[in-house]
Amino acid sequence: MQGSAARRRQMPPAAPGCQQPGRHGSAKNEDTFKTSQFHFDLWFYFTLQNWVLDFGRPIAMIILPLEWFPLNKPSAGDYFHMAYNVITPFLLLKLIERSPKTLPRAVIYVSIITFVMGASIHLVGDSVNHRLIFSGYQHHLSVRENPIIKNLKPETLIDSFELLYYYDEYLGHSMWYIPFFLILFIYFTGCFTPIKEENRMPLAAWLLLGPSSLYYWYLVTEGQIFILYIFTFFAMMALVMHQKRKGLVLDSNGLFLFYSFIITLVLIGAWVVWLWNDKILRKKYPGVIYIPEPWAFYTLHLSNLQAAKEAF
């Protein structure tokens, strides 16, 4: 008995910052919810690079002189796409790091890797498809219905172009957008707080809401990922209602993301109603879900108007 008491007296005190086993659970519970300010810098960088490097890449390819970027070389839009493939994963990782809650790192890393792979596949397919515009390719028509594709000899070359279209519009988009929306949703799960004062957005968030929502409209319509978007949005709504029963509310970052998705849905609805009776686009996008691509609309209507003005 005396020996054990002496050994207890000789035990060194716990190091600063170390917690007793019995108190570990309570300390972890206390850190579950932390105050979180609005990440204006990250959301601003997201919005800026999305508009410039994603939406702006085909515009830069069309506007800049063809002599600067020959058809057998990467276009300016391709370099924009390369920058997007590097900057976006970095911003997504920084966004996850700022989450008030600890999120599943393994899922995040696998999603980032898949995102980069999908965006890189899309870079190659999209580069060729957009360069075909200069040869008369029309995005509002299918591959086999395009006049410049019909005359290819041998006809097996058409299969190769359809394979390229598959990598661009289906495989590339799936591997790009599924992890992108998954990461946003995982981040969204950590945007809940019991502090009612955090349940409002600052002025900076309201100013970014419009450009952010408009970009998501472009992403969903041009990427043809409405089903992925709407399921993500429904999952957000279900999570908000579930957490509300626990007395938790969205913080400013969660509200910004949630409101952006709501406005995006309104914009998609307005876009579909506007083009509802377009017979040519209806033929390109058959089925129950009718959401035309903006670039298909451009090659069908706006490019013809621009050519007519130049001829006049």
Residue % of the chain over a pLDDT of 90 = 48
Tell me, what's the pLDDT at 138?
A: 76
Q: How is residue 24 written in tokens?
A: 């570990």
Rounded Cα gap, residues 92 and 77, in angstroms: 22
- Interacting residues of 296 by C-beta distance below 8 A, sequence separation 6+: 139, 140, 281, 284
- Interacting residues of 155 by C-beta distance below 8 A, sequence separation 6+: none
User: pLDDT tens across 203-251, in order?
Assistant: 999 999 999 999 999 999 998 999 999 999 999 999 999 999 999 999 9
Query: Read out DSSP for 205-256?
Result: HHHHHHHHHHHHHHHHHHHT-HHHHHHHHHHHHHHHHHHHHTT-EE-HHHHH
Q: What is the pTM of this model?
A: 0.80
Lowest-confidence segment of 95-99, 166-170, 221-225, 242-246 by average pLDDT: 166-170
The overall average pLDDT reported for the chain is 83
Rounded Cα gap, residues 200 and 33, in angstroms: 17
125, 245, 239, 215: which is closest to 175 by C-alpha?
125
Residue whose pair of structure tokens reads 């009776």 in the numeric block: 277
Reported as half-sphere exposure (CB side, CA atoms, 13 A), residue 202 has a value of 8
Tell me, what's the pLDDT at 126?
A: 82
User: pLDDT tens across 16-40, in order?
Assistant: 444 444 434 433 443 445 556 899 9
Rounded Cα gap, residues 248 and 199, in angstroms: 10
